Amino acid sequence: MRLLILTLLNLIFDVCYLLFIIRIFLLYLPQNRYTKFLKPIYNITEPLLSWIRKGVPPASMGFDAAPFIAMVLLYMLQQVLLKVISLF
C-alpha cells in the first residue's frame, strides 16, 4: 500500500514538473494563452505562480523566476512528503 502511495505521489509531482517546464518554454514563445491546448496549462499553474509573484517581483530585465521557484518549492514539498510517508 505504501509503495502505491509513493508511486502515485511521484507521478503527481512529475506531471506538475512537466507542466511548469512547458510553462517555462512558453515564456519565450509568442502564443495566445487562451488556445484550447494552452488554457488548461495556464489554469493549473497560474494559482501557484501568482502566489509566488506576490513575494518575488519580476526582475528588471523582464525575467520571470516564478516557474523556477515553483519547481524548487514543489521538489522540497515532494521530498518532505516522501520522508513522512516512508516513516509510517
Higher pLDDT, 65 or 78: 78
Q: What is the pLDDT of residue 61?
A: 57
Phi, psi of 33 (to 5 degrees): -70, -5
CB 5 within 8 A of CB 14: no
pLDDT 10s digits, 60-71: 556 788 899 999
User: For residues 26 and 77, what is the distance between their CA atoms, to the nearest angstrom?
Assistant: 25
Query: Which pTM does this prediction carry?
Result: 0.83
Return the percentage of the chain with pLDDT > 70, whole number.
Answer: 94
Specify the amino acid at residue 42: Y
pLDDT over threshold 90, residue 12: yes
Q: What is the mean pLDDT of residues 29-34?
A: 78
Domains in the chain, number: 1
**Would you place residue 55 in the very low, low, confident or very high pLDDT band (cuts 50, 70, 90)?**
confident
